[in-house]
Amino acid sequence: MTPAPDRYAVIGHPIDHSRSPWIHARFAQQTGQRMVYTAIDAAPEDLDDRVRDFFARGGLGLNVTVPHKQAVLPLLQELSERARVAGAVNLILRADDGRLRGDNTDGSGLVRDLTHNLGVPIAAQRLLLLGAGGAARGIIAPLLALHPAELVIANRSAARAIELAQQFKPFGTVRGARYDELKRQRFALIINATSAGLLQEIPPLPVEVLDASTVCYDLAYARDTTRFVQWAREHGVARGIPGAGMLVEQAAESFLLWRGVRPDTTAVLADLLAL
């Protein structure tokens, strides 16, 4: 009898919007891997049970998405260095001895999309990061490693941004701010790492921050555009980019860690954008 295929999934809430099952199915097809990848909707109060249940039933790996990237930490026995620095995970691997190891591929996925796919310069530029949740945590150190002139973190709950900036000071020039402090400032790149888009909202960023040279990148994925990207384009920015490339690149690195083979992202990204 043929053994059942290896099982993987993404866990989040809400999860209907997730393209991860589609992306991993394409990777599996491309690399000849026998596996299934599903989506698990877990409300915060059910997270522990759903994670334990998935691995107890033989699951090999999970991607972790909004809002669970920090909440899942107590369930893990090991963390990679980058997940420890981030204090957030976006993937879990089950080792042969059953131990659960957390890792974080969000930062490398974003950096690869910005620098390799899109050619957006980071070194010596002023960057603004919106949001201080699980996704923001994963991308701060990888961005600082590219030596921007400064990284400013703004968040609705400003205390969280200030605390996060304090935590990442050993990695580069970074500070926290309130949205209303940003009015007269200019940034080469603005990255939206809030979950405002899930509610069809945009973060309270003063429009004065945008100009014709600004690049705006939204971690949120949508087929054509997102509320934030649309809003930025309406205010005349140089480029407004939804986060499809990051989604595919962080998925490719998850796939590599689980299956030991790196899929080619170019065709999968092109097909995702054409869906």
Applying CB under 6 A, among 128, 190, 219, 237 the residue interacting with ligand NAP is 219
Shortest spacing between CB 100 and ligand NAP, in angstroms: 19
Which helix (DSSP H) or strand (DSSP E) does residue 191 occupy? Answer: strand 189-192
Q: Considering the rule CB under 6 A, would residue 243 count as an interface residue with ligand NAP?
A: yes
Whether the Cβ atoms of residue 263 and residue 30 lie closer than 8 Å to each other: yes
Alpha carbon distance, N-terminus to C-terminus of the chain: 36
Distance of CA 44 to the CA centre of its chain: 19
The interface mask with ligand NAP, positions 176-215, x = CB under 6 A, is -----------------xxxxxx--x-x------------
User: Per rule CB under 6 A, is residue 246 in the interface with ligand NAP?
Assistant: yes
Q: Which residue has the tokens 């209907």?
A: 16
Binding positions for ligand NAP, 55-74, rule CB under 6 A = 65-67, 69
Strands 61-64 and 91-94: antiparallel
Q: Is 226 in the site for ligand NAP (CB under 6 A)?
A: no
Q: Shortest approach of ligand NAP to residue 233 CB, angstroms?
A: 18
With contacts defined by CB under 6 A, name the span among 23-31, 54-62, 127-135, 166-174 that binds ligand NAP.
127-135
Q: Considering the rule CB under 6 A, would residue 247 count as an interface residue with ligand NAP?
A: yes
36: helix, strand or coil: strand
Among 24, 26, 69, 137, the active-site one is: 69
In order of 76, 100, 192, 204, the CA distances from 70 in angstroms are 11, 15, 19, 24
Which listed residue (102, 133, 176, 240) binds ligand NAP by CB under 6 A?
133
Please say if 183 is a catalytic residue. Answer: no
Stretch that binds ligand NAP, among 24-32, 117-125, 133-141, 166-174 (CB under 6 A): 133-141
Count of positions on this chain that bind ligand NAP (CB under 6 A) = 31
Q: How many CB atoms lie within 10 A of CB 215?
A: 21
Contact predicate 206/179, CB 8 Å: yes
The Cα–Cα gap between 228 and 196 comes to 9
Q: Give start and end residues of each alpha helix (H) in 75-128.
A: 81-86, 106-111
Of 143-172, which residues contact ligand NAP (CB under 6 A)? Answer: 155-157, 160
In 10 A of CB 222, how many CB atoms? 16
Point out which residues bind ligand NAP (CB under 6 A): 65-67, 69, 106, 109, 131-136, 155-157, 160, 193-198, 201, 203, 219-221, 243, 246-247, 250
